[in-house]
Structure 1
Amino acid sequence: MRNLALCTLVTLMVGLAAAAPQRAEEPIAIISQESNIEPDGSYNYAYETANGIKAEETGTLKKATSADSNDVIIARGSVSYTSPEGNLITLNYSADDENGFQPQGDHLPTPPPIPPAIQKALDYLLSLPPAKRR
């Protein structure tokens, strides 16, 4: 009985090891890397890898103006890489407490234009006093 339990345990361990994902590729080398954090909460980092991935970000700490508010990080940065189709993808972004995360890039989808009649109705609604917009 004890040998059967040991055999079952060994078989289970071998099965788990065989089922684990196998690394087929070599790790990508990091060509450059910088990182800096200042005592005031501001920071910046940048890196580039051998396969063309690049990223950088700068952030500053915006101190809360009232006791019931929290300090907020304001960040700006970019990331770029080559897509599987061979296109250079670049994403620029900013993030803050007022506008949230604001990405920009040619690869991002854009909404269709608003039809003129709908835009006219929206403009009219925005011209009304707030109490009458309901």
Structure 2
Amino acid sequence: MKAVIIFACLLAVAFARPAADTQIVKSDSDVGPESYTYSLETSDGTKKDEAGQLKDIGSDHEGIVVQGSYTWKDEKTGEVFTVTYTADENGFQPHGAHLPVAPVA
């Protein structure tokens, strides 16, 4: 399971790679055997925070639950967007004011 946590962290860092002229102004992480947290902020105002924790350790249903958010500023309009999310046994579940919402069945 440690490999899963490390892979998730490396994947997140790869996707959070800033543009060439953007500088990282804050970068914190704490990776443990059963959980991790990280935070990244760039000079263009982009922010990413995430925390993951193993659940049901040692059982057949062992997995990782991740909660986080990311924020960015649209270069054309200047509008700021934020997505909060959970990723668990129910899949990736993003939420944001700009995201469409499925109709109630």
- TM-score normalised according to structure 2 size: 0.72
Q: Does 1:56 align with 2:49?
A: yes
Structure 1 Cα separation of the partners of residues 38 and 20 of structure 2: 25
Between the two proteins, what is the percent identity of the paired residues? 38
Q: Could you tell me which amino acid in structure 1 is paired with residue 88 of structure 2?
A: D
Structure 1 Cα separation of the partners of residues 42 and 87 of structure 2: 24
Encode CA deviations 1:67-93: one digit per residue, 9 max, x unaligned: xx2531101000000113111100000
> 1:95 aligns to what?
87
Compute the displacement of 1:26 (Å).
4.3
Q: Relative contact order, CA 8 A, sep 6+: which one is greater?
A: 2
Structure 2 Cα separation of the partners of residues 107 and 65 of structure 1: 39
Moved over 2 A (4+): 63-66
Structure 2 Cα separation of the partners of residues 27 and 60 of structure 1: 34
Structure 2 Cα separation of the partners of residues 81 and 87 of structure 1: 8
Q: Does 1:32 align with 2:26?
A: yes
Q: Which is worse superposed, 48-57 or 79-88?
A: 79-88
> 2:37 aligns to what?
44
> 2:70 aligns to what?
79
Larger Rg belongs to:
1
Structure 2 Cα separation of the partners of residues 64 and 43 of structure 1: 15
Q: Which runs of 5+ in 2 are unaligned?
A: 1-18
Q: Which runs of 5+ in 1 are unaligned?
A: 1-24, 120-134
Structure 1 Cα separation of the partners of residues 101 and 93 of structure 2: 14
Say which structure is richer in strand.
Answer: 2
> 1:109 aligns to what?
100
